[in-house]
Amino acid sequence: MSERPAVIAGFVDDSVEPGVWRYARARRARVVIDAENYFDHMQQAMLGARERILMIGWDFDTRIHLSTGRRWWQKGFNRTYPLRLGSFIPWLARRNRKLEVRILNWTYSVVKFAGRGSMALDILRWYPHRRIDFKFDTAHPIGCSHHQKIVVIDDNFAVCGGIDMTTRRWDTRAHLDDDPRRKRPNGEPYGPWHDLTMIVEGDAAQALEELGRYRWARAGGKPLKPARRTITSAWPEDLAADFEDVEIGIARTRAEYNGERKIDEIEQLFLRQIAAAKHFIYAESQYFASRSIAEALAVRLAEPNPPEIVIVHPISADGWMETKAMDPARARLYTAIRELDTQDRFHLYVPFARDTPIYVHAKLMIVDDRILRVGSANFNNRSMGLDSECDVFIDCERPGNAHCSQRIREMRLSLLGEHCGIDPAEVARLIEQHGSMAGMIAGLGPGRGRTLRPFHPQPLSHLEIELADREMLDPEEPPAMFEIRPPSRGLFRRGSVLARSMRKLKTKAQRR
């Protein structure tokens, strides 16, 4: 293997410990749940940018509107600014002659241009602006994707999580089954959507700025100088913090490519945090298809006193290929885990608004109200070894973080209240009454506006079982995309606890 290219002088590529790239303190941090106000917050933050706005994402759509409309006051003049992202960015560049805007998007999104009309025109309009640069990221193996969702403003404000600057992300926490405000730029309505991200200020933002500059240069952009240290930040004035003076951990996934070694910090961190759970794990994920995570959960469930595990996810993946790859793997893993779950501690739920399923795009994990983790990585194999990912987390056992536990608990109760349509205080009372999150959910019963319904897998065809068991559509490493691996090297690896569970189920079926 050739020596890794030094794209950015001084960039620290090594993990500080297994599963963690960097620890850095944040003056303030906020978890934004759902995108009702997210785009408005981002517009206000970009108005405060002095030197650079760096946006890195899986998808980007210039046609979205950022807010419902405000007026910008400066030097005694009342000036309006565009609400549409594609017009707002050049307006910013004209207003601040020192500001540069760099946007990095996964290359697959180029095929979406044909259906986005004015977006291609926006990119052409930006071209004469030397301080606006839009690039597609192709710096990854064939079949992999750039999946990070990061925004950095100067070196003091950053966002990392699951929300892209694109269409079909906006929704309120009420997740109405029929909300007329929930429309694509072409006016087409879309269904309820649940998502979240984390905003940080201070040294943690500076660390993400370094990571963003590295990814920009690695994707072929002209290397960017570090943003100059600023005293003020772009933090919106009306945005309250969830945490103050807190240490943030950062973890990454990156496939081996062009001299760069593989980074699997995200997977390592998941395994460590699952193993450390004492009482419960509450998670939200777009998928449940990762072999390594399922095995880690299965090991915990086989213990005499396992933690409660509650995972909220969508009823089905979004898109034909995703459905074929993720849904059968979920069904197979769920079946194997339930066979091991003799104490009924493992639960998958789907959120509904009346009879309309809510799509879960969030990537979140809370462990014992002492670990809060938000990022771009899902519970699938791609996020563990193929796609570029970035997660941020707060661990209350780290120095100076003990004060965060109560707020993490409030956040978990708030999310459960959102999905169940009840007040967080009522969630806490019912958990105390029933002794578990699953008991609280079951005790509520049907007939309410928003509910969490238990997941029940549908029967699979022989082909679906073969594709899932061999990990044909969701491999763990880039070379596996072009190999036909036996099932013993797929979801149910020889000797694993999941493989033993499936053999047990097969024996039971034969005896019937």
Residue owning tokens 């990221």: 137
Note the pLDDT of residue 77: 44
* Bigger pLDDT: 230 vs 104: 104
What is the end-to-end Cα distance of the chain in Å, rounded? Answer: 54
* Side chain identity, residue 425: A
Residue 409 burial (CB < 10 Å; 0-12/13-18/19+)?
Answer: middle
Note the pLDDT of residue 7: 63
Q: What's domain 28-247's architecture?
A: 2-Layer Sandwich (3.30)
Question: Residue 120: which pLDDT band, with cuts at 50, 70 and 90?
Answer: confident
Note the pLDDT of residue 68: 58
Residue 444 clears pLDDT 60, i.e. is over it:
yes
pLDDT tens-digit readout, 460-502: 999 999 999 999 999 999 988 888 888 889 999 999 999 999 9
Q: 104-113, 157-166, 320-329: which has the minimum mean pLDDT?
A: 104-113
Residue 37 clears pLDDT 50, i.e. is over it:
yes
Closest to 209 (Cα-Cα) out of 60, 104, 55, 105: 55
Note the pLDDT of residue 482: 80
Note the pLDDT of residue 93: 94
Q: What is the assigned CATH class of domain 263-511?
A: alpha beta
pLDDT tens-digit readout, 298-357: 999 999 999 999 999 999 999 888 999 999 999 999 999 999 999 999 999 999 999 999
pLDDT tens-digit readout, 179-197: 999 999 989 999 999 999 9
Note the pLDDT of residue 481: 82
Return d(Cα 468, Cα 446) in angstroms, integer.
32
Across 374-398, average pLDDT: 98
Evaluate whether 28-247 and 263-511 have a shared fold: yes
Note the pLDDT of residue 484: 83
Q: What separation in angstroms does the CA of 512 have from each of 336, 341, 505?
A: 18, 21, 11
Residue 4 clears pLDDT 60, i.e. is over it:
no
Residue owning tokens 């590529």: 13
Across 216-222, average pLDDT: 94
Question: Residue 1: which pLDDT band, with cuts at 50, 70 and 90?
Answer: very low
Note the pLDDT of residue 75: 42
The mean pLDDT of the chain is 93
Across 231-254, average pLDDT: 95
pLDDT tens-digit readout, 45-93: 999 999 999 999 999 999 999 975 444 444 444 558 899 999 999 999 9
Across 244-266, average pLDDT: 96
Return d(Cα 435, Cα 467) in angstroms, integer.
39
Note the pLDDT of residue 110: 61
Note the pLDDT of residue 76: 41
Note the pLDDT of residue 74: 44
Across 377-401, average pLDDT: 98
Residue 134 burial (CB < 10 Å; 0-12/13-18/19+)?
Answer: middle
Backbone angles phi, psi at 266, to 5 degrees: -60, -45
Q: Please, are residues 67 and 40 in contact by the beta-carbon 8 Å criterion?
A: yes
Domain layout of the chain by residue ranges: 28-247, 263-511
